[in-house]
C-alpha cells in the first residue's frame, strides 16, 4: 500500500478550516505536533507527513547526509518509495501510536581496491 506524502505545511491548515471550535485537548495536541515539526526543521531535518489509506499517519523527519543538498523534502519521496520495508515499519509504528519518526540517511561506505 503506497502512502500519500504531504508537505509539512499542511499542519498549519489543520483546524483552520474546521467549522466547530476545536477542544482544548485538540488545540494542545496540534501545538505539540507543530512544536515537534519545528524542532525537527531547526535540527536540519526535512519533514513530510506520510498518510496511508487507512488514515494512519506519520510525521517523518529525514536527516540527509551532510554533503547532500535537498531543496524540498518532496525530493526524498522516490528514495522513500524504494524502501518498502521502512515504509511498512513506519505504518506499523503509526498504528501503535508512534506518529513522529526520524530517519537518518547515510551513504554506504565504499572501499578502494
pLDDT digit string, tens, across residues 17-40: 555 777 888 778 888 888 988 999
Alpha-carbon distance of 60 to 58, in angstroms, equals: 6
Residue at grid coordinates 498518510: 51
Read off the pTM.
0.79
Alpha-carbon distance of 51 to 8, in angstroms, equals: 12
37 contacts: CB under 8 Å, gap ≥ 6: 8, 11, 47, 59
Neighbour-count burial of 72, counting CB atoms closer than 10 A to its CB (0-12 exposed, 13-18 middle, 19+ buried): exposed
Helix (H, G, I), strand (E, B) or coil at 103: strand
pLDDT digit string, tens, across residues 48-63: 999 989 888 889 999 8
Amino acid at each position: 500500500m503506497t502512502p500519500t506524502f504531504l508537505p509539512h505545511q499542511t499542519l498549519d491548515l489543520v483546524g483552520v478550516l474546521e467549522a466547530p471550535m476545536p477542544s482544548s485537548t485538540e488545540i494542545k495536541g496540534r501545538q505539540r505536533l507543530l512544536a515537534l515539526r519545528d524542532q525537527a526543521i531547526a535540527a536540519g531535518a526535512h519533514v513530510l507527513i506520510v498518510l496511508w489509506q487507512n488514515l494512519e499517519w506519520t510525521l517523518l523527519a529525514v536527516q540527509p547526509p551532510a554533503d547532500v543538498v535537498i531543496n524540498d523534502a518532496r525530493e526524498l519521496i522516490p528514495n522513500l518509495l524504494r524502501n518498502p520495508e521502512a515504509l511498512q515499519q513506519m505504518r506499523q509504528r503509526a498504528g501503535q501510536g508512534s506518529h513522529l519518526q526520524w530517519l537518518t540517511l547515510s551513504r554506504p561506505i565504499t572501499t578502494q581496491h
